[in-house]
């Protein structure tokens, strides 16, 4: 049977890994390449690189780092951040990315998902969505969680899957950085409507949060986190042993 | 010399880097002369079967591959590259493959339970048929995982199957017939388990 995936996420700015709590107050953590190699050896199933630089220099620094990482790490790599066009897909795929994740770029132009899926296949197109509760509904936020788009999240996700998104990263802004566990209610609402893999993001603070996630929601395929891995609060090898002991199939 | 066949399909970056990581110096080429000189061939591929098949035909590489394989040159197909080794694919129509291994490629939809997600994406365990382990997979432990991304799979090829993966049905994961070998999964994305398989192929005497 297919295993549940554990995915560390590396936010990269000017060639360094950063992680903020609730997207603010970023701290420099480590070298992306070293961290990627460390995680791969520890049993990470996949790595996500988010480019959070805005400048052209930062962008070319990012592709250099991506290339270097993809030359040393032989597990799937997903890249996101600043993906607004097919040229952006092309740029990161040529550097060794296997999947490309779109967020604000898809909000601005949903057809990007359709075009990218046609050219590269749905398996290559990941929709990443930042979701927050507003007025009793799940609302899509853009620009790194700063802008309320006014769109209802579940119908947005459904629309993107129909357009060709092959995987969904659901990041709960409400639980992100709080370390009190994943947003099970939000994730369940997503799992109920899509048949593509769902990756849970936002809220993991300890190993048990992952066990709870996979037990409560068998439809969730992977758990993604950043700071708890970067700061050594959760060791991926320990986490996987724990999951195994709890009857969850992992690699 | 190891040659990675470049026929305009898919991204060869990871495959080349992984071959370099195991000490090979792969040549990426669509030049028939270089492919004839190579000791071993890799046939990569992602995307649609019909498109890849047409590109192999138009580039004239189909004949080169068939001739070299007939002379005994080892070839390893990966993902769509493995599917191309078969006689036929039923991916959006019926298409003739290279015919190097008997069998055909069909969708897993309708074969696996309806509540299983398609494509089959992720790390899945390899299982081996009873009897002697095929030498290509000698380094792989029972139940070790490799990375899959696919919707279609090879069937009616029992004699050639050297590993399967369980996903609501038994899916063909790796095949071999003499000097012709193939993996449905991506060894170049399967960590140390995958690198060891690539090394076995590159260093083996097939």
How confident is the model over A152-170, as a mean pLDDT? 97
Burial of B135 (0-12, 13-18, 19+ CB in 10 A): middle
pLDDT at position A22 is 39
pLDDT at position B27 is 97
pLDDT at position A144 is 83
Q: What's the domain range around A101?
A: 5-245
Tell me: pLDDT of A25 over 60: no
Interchain pair B149, A123: CB under 8 A: yes
- Catalytic residue among B120, B134, B150, B186, which? B186
Instruction: Tell me which of A27-36, B84-93, B189-198 is least confident.
Output: A27-36
Instruction: Tell me which of A18-22, A59-63, A219-223 is least confident.
Output: A18-22
Pick from A45, A93, A123: CB nearest B11: A93
Interchain pair B118, A195: CB under 8 A: yes
Interchain pair A121, B47: CB under 8 A: yes
Count CB-CB contacts under 10 A for residue B114: 9
Determine what percent of chain A is predicted with pLDDT higher than 90: 75
Q: What is the pLDDT of residues B5-21, one digit of tens each?
A: 999 877 799 999 999 99
How confident is the model over A203-222, as a mean pLDDT? 97
- Taking CA atoms, A76 is separated from A70, A84, A205, in Å, by 9, 22, 24
Tell me: pLDDT of B205 over 90: yes
For residue A69, give every residue at least 6 positions away whose Cβ sits within 8 Å of its Cβ, in sequence order, or none.
A32, A33, A36, A47, A49, A77, A96
Q: Is residue A251 part of a domain?
A: no
Do β-strands B40-43 and B75-78 pair in parallel, antiparallel, or remain unpaired? parallel
> What is the C-alpha separation between B98 and A9, in angstroms, rounded?
41
| CATH at residue A53 | 3.20.20.70
Chain A neighbours among B 29-48 (CB < 8 Å)?
Answer: 46-47
Burial of B130 (0-12, 13-18, 19+ CB in 10 A): exposed
Chain A neighbours among B 97-116 (CB < 8 Å)?
Answer: none
Contact list in B for residue A70 (CB cut-off 8 A) is 13-14, 17
- Give the residue extent of every domain in chain B: 2-203
Interchain pair B122, A5: CB under 8 A: yes
Pick from A93, A96, A123: CB nearest B121: A123
> What is the C-alpha separation between B160 and B182, in angstroms, rounded?
10
Interchain pair B145, A251: CB under 8 A: yes
Q: Which residue in A74, A168, A196 has the most chain B C-beta atoms within 10 A of its own C-beta, making it the best mutation to test that interface?
A: A74
Round the average pLDDT of chain B to a whole number and report it: 95
Tell me: pLDDT of A231 over 90: no
Interchain pair A5, B20: CB under 8 A: no
How confident is the model over B144-162, as a mean pLDDT? 96
Is there a catalytic annotation at residue B142?
no
How confident is the model over B170-186, as a mean pLDDT? 98
Tell me: pLDDT of A21 over 60: no
Tell me: pLDDT of A24 over 60: no
> What is the C-alpha separation between A224 and A90, in angstroms, rounded?
25
Is there a catalytic annotation at residue B87?
no
Do β-strands B95-96 and B86-89 pair in parallel, antiparallel, or remain unpaired? antiparallel
**Of A177, A233, A138, nearest to A23 (Cα)?**
A177
Pick from A3, A96, A166: CB nearest B123: A3
| CATH class, range B2-203 | alpha beta
Instruction: Please tell me the pTM assigned to this model.
Output: 0.93
Q: Is residue A250 part of a domain?
A: no
Q: What is the pLDDT of residues B66-79, one digit of tens each?
A: 999 999 999 999 99
Report yes or no: A89 and A119 within 8 Å, Cβ to Cβ.
Answer: yes
Q: How many domains would you assign to chain A? A: 1
Q: Rounded to 5 degrees, what are φ and ψ at A10? A: -115, 110
At residue B48 the predicted structure's pLDDT band, cuts being 50, 70 and 90, is: confident
Tell me: pLDDT of A56 over 90: no
Closest chain B CA to residue A43: B191
Q: Between residues B153 and A16, which one has the greater pLDDT?
A: B153
At residue A30 the predicted structure's pLDDT band, cuts being 50, 70 and 90, is: low
Interchain pair B123, A45: CB under 8 A: yes
Tell me: pLDDT of A232 over 90: no
How confident is the model over A66-72, as a mean pLDDT? 94
Identify the sign of the CA torsion A167, A48, A109, A124: negative
């Amino acid at each position: 049977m297919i295993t549940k995936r554990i995915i560390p996420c590396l936010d990269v700015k000017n060639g360094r890994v950063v992680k903020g709590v609730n997207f603010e107050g970023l701290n420099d953590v480590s070298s992306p390449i070293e961290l990627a190699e460390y995680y791969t050896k520890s049993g990470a199933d996949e790595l996500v690189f988010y480019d959070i630089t805005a400048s052209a220099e930062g962008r070319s620094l990012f592709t250099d780092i991506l290339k270097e990482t993809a030359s040393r790490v032989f597990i799937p790599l997903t890249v996101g951040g600043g993906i607004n066009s097919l040229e952006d897909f092309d740029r990161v795929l040529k550097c060794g990315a296997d999947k490309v994740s779109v967020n604000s770029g898809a909000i601005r132009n949903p057809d990007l998902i359709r075009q990218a899926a046609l050219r590269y296949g749905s398996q290559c197109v990941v929709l990443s969505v930042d979701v927050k509760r507003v007025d009793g509904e799940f609302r899509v936020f853009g620009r790194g969680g700063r802008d309320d788009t006014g769109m209802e999240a579940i119908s947005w996700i459904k629309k993107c899957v129909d357009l060709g998104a092959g995987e969904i990263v659901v990041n709960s802004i409400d639980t992100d950085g709080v370390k009190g566990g994943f947003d099970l209610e939000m994730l369940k609402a997503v799992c109920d409507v899509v048949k593509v893999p769902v990756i849970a993001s936002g809220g993991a603070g300890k190993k048990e949060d992952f066990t709870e996630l996979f037990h409560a929601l068998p439809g969730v395929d992977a758990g993604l986190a950043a700071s708890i891995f970067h700061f050594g609060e959760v060791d991926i090898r320990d986490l996987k042993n724990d999951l195994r002991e709890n009857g969850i199939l992992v690699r | 010399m190891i040659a990675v066949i470049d026929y305009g399909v898919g991204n060869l970056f990871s495959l080349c880097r992984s071959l370099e990581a195991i000490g090979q110096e792969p040549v990426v080429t669509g030049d028939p002369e270089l492919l004839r000189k190579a000791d071993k061939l890799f046939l990569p591929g992602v995307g649609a079967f019909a498109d890849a098949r047409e590109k192999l035909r138009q580039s004239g590489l189909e004949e080169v591959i068939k001739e070299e394989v007939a002379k005994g040159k080892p070839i390893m197909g990966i993902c769509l590259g493995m599917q191309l080794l078969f006689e036929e694919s039923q991916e959006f129509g019926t298409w003739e493959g290279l015919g190097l291994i008997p069998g055909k490629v069909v969708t897993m939809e309708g074969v696996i339970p309806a509540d299983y997600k398609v494509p089959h994406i992720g790390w899945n365990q390899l299982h081996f048929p009873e009897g002697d382990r095929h030498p290509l997979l000698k380094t792989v432990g029972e139940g070790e995982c490799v990375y899959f991304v696919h919707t279609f799979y090879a069937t009616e090829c029992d004699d050639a199957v050297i590993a399967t993966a369980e996903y609501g049905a038994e899916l063909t994961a790796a095949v071999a017939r003499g000097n012709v070998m193939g993996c449905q999964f991506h060894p170049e994305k399967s960590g140390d388990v995958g690198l060891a398989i690539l090394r076995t192929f590159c260093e083996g005497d097939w």
